Structure 1
Amino acid sequence: MSCHPYAVLAAQRLLPVLRSADAGQAERATRELLGAGCRAVELTTSTPGWARAVARAAGMRDARGRRAVIGVGTVTTTAQAEDALDAGAAFLVSPYPAPEAREAASRRGVPFLEGGFTPGEIAAAVRRAGAAKVFPAHVGGPDFIRSLRAVLPDALLVPTGGIRPGEVRRWLDAGASAVGIGSGLPAEPGELAALFAELAGPCCGQEC
């Protein structure tokens, strides 16, 4: 039995968010990340040809031979959600509350990491799915995550937006389950692998 995407995110603790110039660039970046010890990668609908990139990335394997866990972000409509799921997405992500995408994901039985910024939006997403993307995270900072964690102790919280790789540990220490990073990841393969190795936490206990 394979791990739930949220278990993979919680173990990986850093979620790369790829906004690429085209599908080919997204595929190459995904392959590099997987080779460096990453397993879960978020591609976004802002990339031209993104559905093709998702379909190809979904068949890739990580450095341990496990199937990649490919998410699609910036999903806010039914059409985007259906296209992402048809392409093989393992989970969907939105930057803000997105009822259309939420309903499509629920209908297809795929996890939806719904975005929110206010405590009410975040709590509503957690009530529905046990998880929420906190966006834009840099506005509230790590202390905002610490306050959210106090009232949502069991939630999977993934702050994203304006966070640099060197700051990830501060967010994790504040209570983030994983941190979304859109830019600034090391280009050198060894440095990238070291970053994932440093941040990785325990998985769910099963072979995933």
Structure 2
Amino acid sequence: MSGVIELLRRQRVLPVLRLPSPAAATTAATAMFANGMRVVEVTATTPDWATAVRDARREAPDGALVGLGTVTSGALAAQAVEAGAQFLVSPWPAADVRAVADSAGLPFLQGAFTPGEVAAAAAHGPVKVFPAHVGGPSFLVSLRQLLPGADLVPTGGIALEAVPDWLRAGACAVGVGSDLLRPGAADRLRSLLRAFEETS
């Protein structure tokens, strides 16, 4: 688990790749790796996601991790393990997914939203706070006051330009989707993170 968290802390952003084909997902993951990312999430809503996971892993540099997100059941988690996913992410509390992840020795970012859900998930490891845009960065500040040691990864409806706001609110990393795939996104992200580091 610590390996995923350390990588996320360094890259500050978790690419969430929800694309219309496995080829598109693999191309996107390869682009993320080329731009220095070392952790990417392919979602299970991508058609033939298992092919996307396998192909993205083949393109990944040494030490990079490809995980499967939107894992909503133990059966789906088991399929993800078989496909070679290196970590799992759920959108909500999912004890059956955690059981599969634990059995396979895989890191698991459990989805949560309410303070009680976040606290329960944080007792086991990092938490995907979803849908984060509903509460905004101020909601994350409140969660961090209750759980100062928690590794929180807000995801859902977050624009690239808002990443520094979430980091200032205490995010371990920020899940970003389609904005990362726009032309010039990599350069813009580097600029945003550089400015964040200079003012932190």
Q: Same fold (TM over 0.5)?
A: yes
What is the aligned residue count?
Answer: 195
State the alpha-carbon separation in 2 of the partners of residues 178 and 144 from structure 1.
Answer: 15
SS across alignment from 1:124: helix
1:149 aligns with: 144
Quickly say closer, same or farther: Cα 1:149–1:90, change in 2 above 3 A: same
Quickly say closer, same or farther: Cα 1:196–1:71, change in 2 above 3 A: farther
Is the counterpart of residue 187 in structure 1 residue 186 in structure 2?
A: no
Gaps of 5+ in 1: 203-208
2:10 aligns with: 11
1:205 aligns with: none
Q: Is the Cα–Cα contact under 8 Å of residues 113 and 133 in structure 1 kept in the other structure? A: yes
Superposition pairs of residues 60-139 of structure 1, within 5 angstroms: 60-62=59-61, 66-129=62-125, 131-139=126-134
Superposition pairs of residues 32-47 of structure 1, within 5 angstroms: 32-47=31-46
Q: Deviations over 1:96-154 (max 9, x none)?
A: 0011111100111111100011000000000122x111000011110111111112111
**Which letter maps to 2:159?**
R
Quickly say closer, same or farther: Cα 1:9–1:197, change in 2 above 3 A: farther
Is the counterpart of residue 171 in structure 1 residue 170 in structure 2?
A: no
Percent identity reads: 49
Q: Is the Cα–Cα contact under 8 Å of residues 179 and 185 in structure 2 kept in the other structure? A: no
State the alpha-carbon separation in 2 of the partners of residues 197 and 5 from structure 1.
Answer: 24
**Which letter maps to 2:83?**
A
- Higher helix content, 1 or 2: 2
Q: Please report the TM-score for the alignment, with normalisation by the length of structure 2.
A: 0.91
Give the CA RMSD over aligned residues: 1.9
Deviation at 1:60, TM superposition (A): 2.3
Higher relative contact order (CA 8 A, sep 6+): 1
1:50 aligns with: 49
